[in-house]
């Protein structure tokens, strides 16, 4: 397991070098989106419309943050379960998305798309939303404001701590990590 400092948007070579279990401190610009926003993005792509953010190299954080307290840029920002976005993730990877941040397992179609499109799935610690928000230095709603906490936000992050749970070589930490500790 290696440790990396990366900047988003990600380059293909960034995603290509990562392997499950690697630790990453991510800085740069990422976007928030959950299932309703993903559905709208894919619908816009299906209509040959431009999505609300540049997908090339993008990292999307599956989160619906709480309102910020006074003096803060964002409220608690813990990850949501990834499988709710599995129907949309392969299409976004085909359009250039290179990273996803969430918690939980991914389906086979998402894992195949990660290999085909050289993308990576990062795990963020569930239940640590109040701590994660310390890594977020700026938050701005850029699309679908009517979705409230699930609107798309452009976030600027510094040293967001992540672990690679799915890589573009087909690795899946949920499978491999379990095998490591199972009795033989």
Instruction: Specify whether the CB–CB gap between 32 and 10 falls below 8 A.
Output: no
Is residue 3 within 8 Å of 145, Cβ to Cβ? no
Catalytic residue among 34, 38, 98, 118: 38
Distance CA 37, CA 22 (A): 29
Question: Where in the chain does DSSP place strands (E)?
Answer: 3-8, 23-32, 59-61, 99-102, 120-123, 136-143, 152-166
Structure tokens at 110: 């998402």
- To the query of whether residue 38 is one of the catalytic residues in this protein, the response is yes
Residue showing tokens 């999307």:
60
Count, residues in the chain:
184
Measured at the alpha carbon of residue 12, what is the angle toward residues 123 and 176, in degrees to the nearest 5? 40
For residue 10, the Cα-to-chain-centroid distance in whole angstroms is 12
Q: Kindly tell me the burial class for residue 8, based on how many C-beta atoms sit within 10 Å of its own C-beta (0-12, 13-18, 19 or more).
A: buried
Which residues form the catalytic set?
38
């Amino acid at each position: 397991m290696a440790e990396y400092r990366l900047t988003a948007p990600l380059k293909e070579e960034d995603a290509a070098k990562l392997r499950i279990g690697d630790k990453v401190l991510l800085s740069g610009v990422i976007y928030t989106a959950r299932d309703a926003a993903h559905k709208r993005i894919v619908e816009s792509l299906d209509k040959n419309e431009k999505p609300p953010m540049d997908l090339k190299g993008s990292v999307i954080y599956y989160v619906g943050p709480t309102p910020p307290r006074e003096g803060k840029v964002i409220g608690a920002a813990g990850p949501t379960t990834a499988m709710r976005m599995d129907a949309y993730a392969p299409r976004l990877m085909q359009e250039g998305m290179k990273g996803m941040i969430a918690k939980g397992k991914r389906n086979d179609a998402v894992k195949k798309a990660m290999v085909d499109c050289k993308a990576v799935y990062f795990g963020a610690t569930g239940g640590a939303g109040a701590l994660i928000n310390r890594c977020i230095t700026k938050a701005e709603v850029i699309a679908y404001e009517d979705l409230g906490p699930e609107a798309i936000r452009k976030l600027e992050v510094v040293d967001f701590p992540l672990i690679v749970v799915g890589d573009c070589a087909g690795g899946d930490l949920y499978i491999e990590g379990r095998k490591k500790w199972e009795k033989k």
